[in-house]
Chain A
Amino acid sequence: GAGVSQSPSNKVTEKGKDVELRCDPISGHTALYWYRQSLGQGLEFLIYFQGNSAPDKSGLPSDRFSAERTGGSVSTLTIQRTQQEDSAVYLCASSSGGQGAGSPLHFGNGTRLTVT
C-alpha cells in the first residue's frame, strides 16, 4: 500500500503568517510522530500520538506549535505566527505499534518550510 504522505512538499511563507502541514499515515498505523530536521542538524522530536492516548507534546518548542490527529488517522501540524527560525523540513512518521515500542517508523518525504 501507499507510504506516509505529507503535503505540501514545499511551503514558503512570510514571517508572522500561520501554516498548516498535513500528514497521511500508513493505513492501520496507530502511532504517528512529527519531527523537525534543520539544515545540517539531526531530527528534533516534536509530538507523538499513540491510539487514543493523550499525545506526548513534550517536544513542541513553543506554544505557537500545535498538532492534532483526527479520527486516529490524518494529522495536522500548525505553526502560528511563523518565525524565520521555524524554517526546516518537517517530517511525519507512523508505525504499527506492533512489538510494543520496537516497531520501526515509516517516514514521509517531509515538508520543507521556508519562512521569509
Chain B
Amino acid sequence: AQSVAQPEDQVNVAEGNPLTVKCTYSVSGNPYLFWYVQYPNRGLQFLLKYITGDNLVKGSYGFEAEFNKSQTSFHLKKPSALVSDSALYFCAVRPYTGRRALTFGSGTRLQVQP
C-alpha cells in the first residue's frame, strides 16, 4: 500500500527566511510525487511534481522540491518565504504502475510571520 507522511502539523517561519515542509513516502516501485497547496476558503492547487529526471523540481510561486530516493523524501522548499505563502500544504504520491489514485498526506500548515 502507498502512504505519505508529513511529520509536522505546522511550520512557522519569518518572512524572508527559507522554508522547508517535510514529506516522506512509501510506494511500490518508482513514484510520481506531487505538492498541492490549499489557501483559506479556496480549492486545492497544484504546485509541482516529480516524474523522472532531475531530482530538484521547480514549481509555481518560487517553490521547489527535492526528490531523494534513498531517503524516500520529497521535501518542499522556498529560499525566501512570503506572508502570502501561509496556507495548508499537501504532499501526494502514486506509483508508476498499478493503482493510479493519488494518496495524500495529512497536510502541513505553513505560517509565515511578517
Contacts and interface: CB of A to CB of B under 8 A. Distances in A.
Chain A complexes with chain B: yes
Interface of A: 31, 33, 35, 41-43, 45, 48, 50, 56, 58-59, 91, 93, 99-102, 104-110
Contact of A109 (B42, B94, B96, B104): B42
Contact of A101 (B32, B36, B45, B107): B32
Given A33-B102, A43-B104, A102 B90 contact: no
B51 A102 contact: yes
B105 A59 contact: no
Contact of A45 (B44, B95, B102): B102
Given A33-B102, A41-B106, A56-B100, A104 B43 contact: no
Given A58-B101, A93-B44, 19 more contacts: A33-B102, A35-B104, A42-B90, A43-B44, A45-B104, A56-B100, A59-B101, A100-B96, A101-B96, A102-B49, A102-B51, A104-B34, A104-B49, A105-B102, A106-B46, A107-B44, A108-B43, A109-B42, A110-B43
B107 A42 contact: yes
B103 interface: yes
Given A42-B90, A43-B90, A101-B32, A50 B100 contact: yes
A104 B51 contact: no
A106 B102 CA distance: 12
